Structure 1
Amino acid sequence: METGFCSWVLAVTMCCWLLLLSRVCSGGNLNGVGKVRGVNLGGWLVVEGWIKPSLFDGIPNGDMLDGTQVQFKSMALQKYVSAENGGGQAVTVDRDVPLSWETFRLWRVSETEFQFRSLGGQFLTCDAEGDSVTATAESPSMKETFSVERNSDNRIHIKLKSGTYLQATLANQLTADYPGKPGWDDNMATFEMIIVVNNLHGDYQLANGYGHDKAKEALTEHRNNFIKQEDFIFLYRHGINTVRIPVGWWIAQDPNPPPPFIGGSLAALDNAFSWAQMYDIRCIIDLHAAPGSQNGMEHSSSRDGSVDWPRYPDYISQSLDVIDFLASRYANHPALLGIELLNEPSASSVPLDVLISYYSKGYQIVRKYSSSAYVIICQRIGNADPLELYRANIGFSNIVVDLHYYNLFDPFFINMSAVDNIDFIFKSRQTQLQVLNKANGPLVFIGEWVNEWNVMSGSQVDYQNFGRAQLEVYDTASFGWAYWTLKNDRKHWDFEWNIKKKYLQLGDSSKQKISSGAWWFALAYWCLNSHYIY
């Protein structure tokens, strides 16, 4: 026992000495190592429900989160509630077939209280008991907040804050004057609620769904355990030299961001930088979620699928403030490689001139703090030509264009075989990279890609060949690549699972020179976290 204790003390003392020595010895300069061989830390500091669905398991009425699209069918009339012309006018109960005018997006106020947004953006409103419901409110308040009672058959009653129930009338109107409390039969106040789309599971939905206290508990546990120091050891051991870390705009106001967002992501990002420095890994900070949402998706923290970021100058100014905050905080940190100004702006919603103006200002902000940090600008998603960013003359040094390559999300890939997918990588992706690499301008970064496709019967060998083809082609990108993502509930999206199960074989292409300092860190960490029996 005494000998074991002395040995343990000696091991700890040696490890601490090695840690101190390694701080002096480790260089960790990516520019001296080569291209980026990276992995994204997706689903960590910006929540994406599909990456870790269990985060949402405890939310009551979890299928009625912000942004859920619903339709209401009168059980008495067998007609659907409709906002005439998509909003701005009366609400009727007269449609036999539900389409866009009959679809409403939820804004969740509490577990049982909601606001209903029409296609045109207006909210259902009712001035008082006895009045008709219209879709004319530009912003929601008490008059636009309704209580929803729901039974197991997805039948609902809707009532005002005063307690008066809404009902369909024989004149096909929706009015707040049902007498008394309705039952669940086919009466005028009973509607069937059809959930059309429930695909937004981001930070907004999680925090607003749980409420502040429970959301803080859930997110604190998630941030502390989803990504940890040993994950950086795993990445380092497999030759990964960079992590791309998605963050949300609210990180700049940590530890007390505006509701419903929950503080704590800034401390987690600080931890990531510390771990990265230990293992000669560099960090790209990626503004993944901008205020107002730049693409309407859950990973941009959209509340209801709307894309308001390009429409309001205040949102763009606020985004630039976030870039200023991140650049000023991390510019001199030895682990910083670059800052990505915005993730996946929508081509259909974000005008190119608005985006270029934002990118140019963001570039200048980063340069204010660092002459060497890379400034990364992401291609618009959708129907957009990556060359549009090469023609924009956004910056003069250390600028990178980020492309996201997925053989998914497009009907083009649905019927492709394994061979077809691999041929597409070599014929289409490789050709585009060759053109961009030769272009006079930014470096090329494949900031997101994954070893997954629409091939339903792919064997392990098929996946290995697909992964090998992507690595071979993406290795030619002048800046490098980053896999999406380190951990994921879906196995083939999970980098760690792919490596351990040998579905993705990195080979020699992504090996990097490992510094002696990083080796000492790994050894020290192993010693400090191992238990010996003497």
Structure 2
Amino acid sequence: MPARPLLLLLLLPFLSASGRQITNASDHHGGEAFGKIRAVNLGGWLVIEKWIKPSLFDGIPNKDLLDGTQIQLRSLKLGLFVSADGGGGQKISVNRPSASEWETFKLWRVTSTRFQLRVSNNDFVSASDEGAVEASKSSPDMWETFEIIRDPSSSKRVHLRAHSGMYLQAKDPSQLTADYKGTPGWDNNPAVFEMFVNTLLGGEFQLANGYGLAAAPAIFEQHRNGLVTANDFKFLASNGINAVRIPVGWWIAYDPKPPFPFVGGSLQALDNAFQWAGMNNMKVIIDLHGAPGSQNPWEHSGTRDGVSIWSQPKYISQTIQVIDFLASRYSKNPALLGIELLNEPRSDDVSFETLKQYYTLGYQTVRKHTSTAYVIMCQRIGADPNELANLLTKENGYSNVALDIHLYNLFYVTFYGKSVQWNIDYVYNERKQQLDSLRVTGGPAIFVGEWTNELNVTGASSSDYTAYATAQLEVFGAGASLGWSFWCLKNDNLHWDFERILEAQVAKMKTPQATNRPSKIDHWDCEEEIR
């Protein structure tokens, strides 16, 4: 038994004997079958998510103006907002008293001060040499690039200089023009705008392009070498964790020289993870978290600006090439448990028919290299996962497959304004029913690939978090036939941080008040006060 099996002891009441034994890629290497997956996600490591470690972005110049940042511009002189008429494809006017979709522009960052502006129909703002400004270009070049100059005394006030050297100005509400000569001041003149900024995205693309080609490699090297180490795998194994789920981006297949703006080195880090897993008798799930074209509009898909176009055939074909690369490289590694074909495709962006075709191709691609590794397929976010449970059956030709569902009592209005007890009851009732409904004869194994211990409840106590964690462990432990994976290993937010939760338990057990506690931990006791 490991020296400090805290989590293992904690979980024993919840690891149902009815769960299937996992046989996997290790079996044809002579490994033994083991019980359900008790995994942790290595989130924010090889696919950046700003909310996990915001300090990564602190050194970026104009760090609020990252790729995908949404801005709105109001003429200081007219008091009206700049608008892309019709959402794009027409002239740019300055005639709206309030801002909405047509008045919102997404930034593509060229340098720390030069940007391209994308409108709601995905065209780009362009200023001709003659001074006309319109949103009619499908791809940007020099005439679609603008320098944003901030007022030193107020970063909200800006000038925008076109490639011609002229400044944008709002002389007439009917037409924005690029014909202000000379250098405008910051008084009430037509070349001054108030800029309202909404920095939505902080992913791999934003971090790499924000720092730029010269500075980004050092930032990424330090991050990848420091966030996850060999000692973390020892820590996990000693606490009863038997697997890790590792999010990767599509650019890993092009390492060591991935396409702009991504930074090489993630492939070596993944190689290291396999080595560390093997040294600790752990397994690895490779999770394709970010696909070319982006399967959802969120930062963890590697998107530049929140536009999701993964469903286009060229991006699906490229994604299959990435899966082929990963399966070829790791299929013979005894630590491989499975390959997840795509993380969180969003139903608004990816149809079921498109995903069905891709999963079929992805399954066949993995099976070219291994007949035993799990092929894991994630639900469509916003759709009923039963659509996949009924598809991924032995009758339809699938074997050793798993359906990944992500269960958070967060993000949706359903969970707003509810009590702790309501959330606990929801887990014991609705979550249990949901898992039960996915059991299909000859169907896929069920894997809760993401869950956490955060609540959308103000003022929840340590005992509240303990009770909530206990409910999730009990329901997911019994209802997910393949097992579960906690999100995530390390996080600036306590109740998302697996290591700090366990370290808090260790600290509590060492206090004098804990000397009379039973030696067997029968719940997850996470201290809210440990920061």
Q: What residue number does 2:493 align with?
A: 490
Which AA in structure 2 matches 1:333? Answer: N
Q: What residue number does 1:463 align with?
A: 465
> Compared with structure 1, are the counterparts of its residues 418 and 30 closer, same or farther at alpha carbon in structure 2 (3 Å cutoff)?
farther
Superposed, 1:400-479 pairs within 5 Å as 400-476=402-478, 477-479=480-482
Residues 1:187 and 2:189 are matched in the alignment: yes
Superposed, 1:501-520 pairs within 5 Å as 501-502=504-505, 507=521
Q: CA deviation at 1:27?
A: 12
CA distance in 1, matches of 2:34, 2:237: 13
Q: CA deviation at 1:381?
A: 0.6
> Compared with structure 1, are the counterparts of its residues 27 and 138 closer, same or farther at alpha carbon in structure 2 (3 Å cutoff)?
closer
Does structure 1 conserve the Cα–Cα contact (< 8 Å) formed by 2:389 and 2:439? no
Does structure 1 conserve the Cα–Cα contact (< 8 Å) formed by 2:379 and 2:385? yes
Q: CA deviation at 1:213?
A: 2.1
CA distance in 2, matches of 1:482, 1:379: 15
Q: CA deviation at 1:432?
A: 1.3
CA distance in 2, matches of 1:277, 1:405: 29
Which of 173, 178, 181 is the aligned partner of 2:180? 178
> Compared with structure 1, are the counterparts of its residues 121 and 410 closer, same or farther at alpha carbon in structure 2 (3 Å cutoff)?
same
CA distance in 2, matches of 1:235, 1:171: 62
1:32 alignment partner, SS class: coil
CA distance in 2, matches of 1:75, 1:334: 64
Q: CA deviation at 1:437?
A: 2.8
Does structure 1 conserve the Cα–Cα contact (< 8 Å) formed by 2:94 and 2:172? no
Q: CA deviation at 1:395?
A: 4.5
**Normalising to structure 1: TM-score of the pair?**
0.88
Moved more, 82-91 or 154-163: 154-163
Which AA in structure 2 matches 1:255? Answer: P
Moved more, 31-40 or 117-126: 31-40
Does structure 2 conserve the Cα–Cα contact (< 8 Å) formed by 1:71 and 1:80? yes
Q: CA deviation at 1:446?
A: 0.1
Q: What residue number does 1:8 align with?
A: none
Residues 1:390 and 2:392 are matched in the alignment: no
> Compared with structure 1, are the counterparts of its residues 172 and 30 closer, same or farther at alpha carbon in structure 2 (3 Å cutoff)?
farther
Q: CA deviation at 1:28?
A: 9.9
CA distance in 2, matches of 1:327, 1:430: 33
Which AA in structure 2 matches 1:405? Answer: L
> Compared with structure 1, are the counterparts of its residues 34 and 412 closer, same or farther at alpha carbon in structure 2 (3 Å cutoff)?
same
> Compared with structure 1, are the counterparts of its residues 340 and 509 closer, same or farther at alpha carbon in structure 2 (3 Å cutoff)?
farther
> Compared with structure 1, are the counterparts of its residues 253 and 345 closer, same or farther at alpha carbon in structure 2 (3 Å cutoff)?
same
CA distance in 2, matches of 1:120, 1:507: 55
Does structure 1 conserve the Cα–Cα contact (< 8 Å) formed by 2:117 and 2:125? yes
Q: CA deviation at 1:479?
A: 0.4
CA distance in 1, matches of 2:358, 2:267: 24
2:438 alignment partner, SS class: helix
Q: CA deviation at 1:392?
A: 2.3
Does structure 2 conserve the Cα–Cα contact (< 8 Å) formed by 1:390 and 1:439? no
In structure 2, list runs of 5 or more residues that go unmatched: 1-26, 510-519, 525-531
Moved more, 209-218 or 243-252: 209-218
CA distance in 2, matches of 1:405, 1:222: 28
Does structure 1 conserve the Cα–Cα contact (< 8 Å) formed by 2:323 and 2:366? yes
Does structure 1 conserve the Cα–Cα contact (< 8 Å) formed by 2:256 and 2:267? yes
Q: CA deviation at 1:98?
A: 0.6
Superposed, 1:202-351 pairs within 5 Å as 202-310=203-311, 312-351=312-351
Which AA in structure 2 matches 1:198? Answer: T
Q: CA deviation at 1:416?
A: 1.2
Does structure 2 conserve the Cα–Cα contact (< 8 Å) formed by 1:327 and 1:369? yes
Q: CA deviation at 1:509?
A: 9.5
Q: Could you list the per-position Cα deviations for residues 265-308 of structure 1 after superposition, in whole angstroms to 9, with x for gaps in the alignment? A: 00000000000000011000000000110001100011000001
1:425 alignment partner, SS class: helix
Q: What residue number does 1:369 align with?
A: 369
Which AA in structure 2 matches 1:354? Answer: T
CA distance in 2, matches of 1:489, 1:395: 43
Residues 1:78 and 2:79 are matched in the alignment: yes
Q: Could you list the per-position Cα deviations for residues 182-231 of structure 1 after superposition, in whole angstroms to 9, with x for gaps in the alignment? A: 00011000000001x21200111011111012110000000001000000
Q: Could you list the per-position Cα deviations for residues 252-275 of structure 1 after superposition, in whole angstroms to 9, with x for gaps in the alignment? A: 000000110000000000000000
2:358 alignment partner, SS class: helix
Does structure 1 conserve the Cα–Cα contact (< 8 Å) formed by 2:345 and 2:379? yes
1:210 alignment partner, SS class: helix
**Normalising to structure 2: TM-score of the pair?**
0.88
CA distance in 1, matches of 2:267, 2:33: 29
CA distance in 2, matches of 1:464, 1:398: 34
Moved more, 31-40 or 248-257: 31-40
CA distance in 2, matches of 1:29, 1:288: 30
CA distance in 1, matches of 2:397, 2:222: 40
CA distance in 1, matches of 2:214, 2:160: 28
Q: CA deviation at 1:470?
A: 0.3
Does structure 2 conserve the Cα–Cα contact (< 8 Å) formed by 1:28 and 1:280? no
> Compared with structure 1, are the counterparts of its residues 31 and 444 closer, same or farther at alpha carbon in structure 2 (3 Å cutoff)?
farther
Q: CA deviation at 1:439?
A: 4.5
CA distance in 2, matches of 1:179, 1:29: 76
Moved more, 155-164 or 220-229: 155-164
Q: CA deviation at 1:456?
A: 1.2
> Compared with structure 1, are the counterparts of its residues 367 and 507 closer, same or farther at alpha carbon in structure 2 (3 Å cutoff)?
farther
Q: What residue number does 1:11 align with?
A: none
Q: CA deviation at 1:323?
A: 0.4
Give the root-mean-square deviation of aligned CA atoms. Answer: 1.9
Moved more, 457-466 or 432-441: 432-441
Q: What residue number does 1:122 align with?
A: 123
CA distance in 2, matches of 1:499, 1:317: 42
Does structure 1 conserve the Cα–Cα contact (< 8 Å) formed by 2:386 and 2:437? no
Q: Could you list the per-position Cα deviations for residues 59-88 of structure 1 after superposition, in whole angstroms to 9, with x for gaps in the alignment? A: 000000000000000001001000011111
| Count of aligned positions | 481
CA distance in 2, matches of 1:166, 1:414: 43
CA distance in 2, matches of 1:346, 1:52: 24
Q: CA deviation at 1:29?
A: 7.5
Q: CA deviation at 1:162?
A: 2.8
Does structure 2 conserve the Cα–Cα contact (< 8 Å) formed by 1:390 and 1:440? no
CA distance in 1, matches of 2:435, 2:93: 53
Does structure 2 conserve the Cα–Cα contact (< 8 Å) formed by 1:46 and 1:248? yes
Does structure 2 conserve the Cα–Cα contact (< 8 Å) formed by 1:203 and 1:301? yes
Q: CA deviation at 1:405?
A: 0.2
Does structure 2 conserve the Cα–Cα contact (< 8 Å) formed by 1:212 and 1:260? yes
Q: CA deviation at 1:163?
A: 1.4
